[in-house]
Amino acid sequence: MNELIQTVLVYALPVVFAITLYEAARGYAARYFGDTTAQAQGRLSFNPMVHIDPMGTLVIPVVLYLVTQGAFLFGYAKPMPLNYSMLRDPKKNLKWIALSGPAVNLLMGFAWMLLSILLVALSVEEPFFSKMARAGVLTNLAMFAFHLLPIPPLAGGQIILSLLPHAQAYKYAKIEPYCFFILIGLALLHVLQYWMVPLMTVGSYVLQLLASPFIALLT
C-alpha cells in the first residue's frame, strides 16, 4: 500500500502539468492565430489550476494506472474553448494549434530531464525527487506520442484533418465521437504500443541530444 501511495505521489505533479499545460499551449496558439475565446473566458493561462478537471485530470489517470498496472495512462483537462471561425486561416492554422500541445509536452519532458541532471550534479540523495523527475520525462514522452495518434480530436487527428481536402476531412471528422472507444479498443488489443513506443523512443533521443551539453557541463 505504501508503495502504491508513493507511486501516485511521484506521478501526480508530472501528470497534472502534462495534461493541463497541453491545453494551455493550444489556447495561446489559438490566440496567436486570431481566436481570443480562451482569453475572454479566463482560460488563457499556464496555471494548471485553471485547466484541471477533477475527474479527467485526477481520478481517471490514477484509476487507469492502477487497473492496467501502468500499461495505459489517459487523462484530460477542461477542453480549451476554441472558435475556429475566428482564426485567420482555420484550415492552415489548425495544424499549428494541434502541434502546440505535443510540442509543449516535449518541452516539459526536456525540463524534467534537466531537473534530473541537476539533481545528480548537486548530489541530492532523496530518491523521491529523482523518481519524480524521471516520471516527468516518461509522462510527457507518453503524452507526446499519445496525442499524435491520428484520431480526432487528438492532435494527430486534427493535423490529418488540416491536410485533407474539405470533403475527405468532413468524412474523417465523423469518427471523433468514437475516439474514446477506439482508444480503449487499441489499448485492450495491445496495439497502442506499436505507435507509442517508436514515437517515445524518437522523442527520448531528441531530449537526450538536447540535454547532452548540460550533461557535459554539470556532470
Total domains present in the chain? 1
| Global pTM exceeds 0.75 | yes
* Predicted pLDDT at 50: 84
Domain region containing 202: 2-218
Cell of residue 194, nine digits:
506499436
Tell me how many helices (H) and strands (E) the chain has.
Answer: 10, 0
State the average pLDDT over residues 20-25.
91
Q: What whole-number distance in Å separates Cα of residue 204 and Cα of residue 103?
A: 13
* 26 or 2: which leads in pLDDT: 26
Residues 33 and 100: beta-carbon distance below 8 Å: no
Whether 5 and 66 have beta carbons less than 8 Å apart is answered as no
Taking only the tens place, the pLDDT of each residue in 125-175 is: 889 999 999 999 999 999 999 999 999 999 999 999 999 999 999 999 999
Confidence at 4, pLDDT banded by 50, 70, 90: low
Nearest to 37, CA basis, from 84, 89, 94: 84
pLDDT (0 to 100) of residue 145 = 93
Predicted pLDDT at 69: 57
